[in-house]
Homo-oligomer: A and B are copies of this chain.
Amino acid sequence: MWHAKYIAVDWGTTNRRAWLIDSSGSVESEFKDHLGLMSVPKGGFDSAAADIRKQLGDYPMLLAGMVGSDRGWRQAGYVPCPADAALLAASILWVEPMRTGIIPGVCQTEGHADVMRGEEVQVLGAQAIASLSPNAIICHPGTHCKWIHLQNGRISRFQTAMTGEIFDLLKTHSILAAQMSDDVMYNASFQQGLKDARDGAPLLNALFAVRARYLLQAAPPADASYASGLLIGNDVMAGLMQAASGSHVTLIGRPDLCHLYARAIAASGCTSSFVDGGAAFRAGIDSIIRQLGE
């Protein structure tokens, strides 16, 4: 049945996005709304899922993202590394057999403990779209930035940095908030933050300098950009710590954020390219469906 039309759903904490894919693999229709997990009332997932079919038609449906977490519709668990499309397809949680399925996340238990949920589908898709090397490095910036290493075409290890969340906490709740009202840009302040990170300035100290510069009247007017450069600089250094110099990184995610990461990656002597998150998600679902057979 998966050779005919189907629905692909990326259902996260604050948003959901769904596409109806036709038998040629093209998008026939789509929608995006704010009915993320936080907006679904308790016990409301059955009808929230039924609503997707009301909008796109009564077709088979595969879902991924936080919808499969402990706060989502059903717990789809995690598959361990090394993970690929075949393992994810074999581990789908079927809400209705072969008709409505939730793709599991991926976990890492060797080395440091880590988890992802949703990004694994985009990684599979980027492999297909961008003809990635079987040993590619993929970076997915965001609230929790993921650095994912492929080995022989499978997700072999990954690490998550709380970069976006720490930035948001500082901007919203910290003593630095008043100095972080600017929109983050790749400007001189961002570059100074990157430089301080690369020069090894301790993160906890470099952040306080934002406050001190303000009090001493020497504050540049763009300290959200500075803090972002500092945090992204630290994130990229950790992400590339074990990578060969001159490595290539495939970025997936928000274009504005990927642009900032691209500059930080370039400052580390590596190269990067960009894959659109929605296209990667659809291609990843397609990869998994190809594993389902008849």
CB–CB A78/B216 < 8 A: yes
> Does A54 belong to the interface (CB within 8 Å)?
no
Taking CB atoms, residues of chain B closer than 8 Å to A250 are none
Task: Say which residue of B78, B172, B212, B241 sits within 8 Å of A113 (CB atoms).
Answer: B212
Given A114-B208, A169-B174, A234 contacting B109 (CB threshold 8 A): no
State how many angstroms separate the Cβ of A293 from the closest Cβ of chain B.
Answer: 31
Residue in B closest to A143 when the chains form the complex, CB atoms? B175
Chain B min CB distance to A17 (Å): 22
Is B160 in contact with A205, judged by CB distance below 8 angstroms? yes
Binds B, one of A1-9, A126-134, A196-204, A278-286: A196-204
Q: Which of A206-255 contact B (CB under 8 A)?
A: 206-209, 211-213, 215-216, 218, 231, 234-235, 237-238, 241
Task: Write out, one digit per residue, whether chain A residues 90-130 have a CB within 8 A of any chain B CB (1) or not (0).
Answer: 00000000000000000111001111000000000000000
Closest residue of chain B to A196 (Cβ to Cβ) is B112
Cβ contact within 8 Å between B209 and A112: yes
Residue total for A at the interface (Cβ-Cβ under 8 A):
44
In the complex, A201→B238 CA distance in Å? 9
Which A142-186 residues have C-beta < 8 A from chain B? 144, 159-163, 165-166, 169-170, 172-175
CA distance A157 to B185 in the complex (A): 32
Is B174 a contact of A207 with CB atoms below 8 Å? no
On whether the beta carbons of A160 and B212 are closer than 8 Å, the reply is yes
Assembly CA distance A107 to B213 (angstroms)? 10
Neighbouring B residues of A213 by C-beta, 8 Å: 113
Q: When the two chains form the complex, which single residue of B115, B175, B201 contacts A216, counting CB atoms closer than 8 Å? A: B115
Q: Mark A63-91, 1 if CB is under 8 A from B, else 0.
A: 00000001000000010000000000000
Chain B hits for A211, CB < 8 A: 115
Residue of B nearest to A203 (CB): B203
A binding-site residues for B, Cβ under 8 Å:
70, 78, 107-109, 112-115, 144, 159-163, 165-166, 169-170, 172-175, 201-209, 211-213, 215-216, 218, 231, 234-235, 237-238, 241
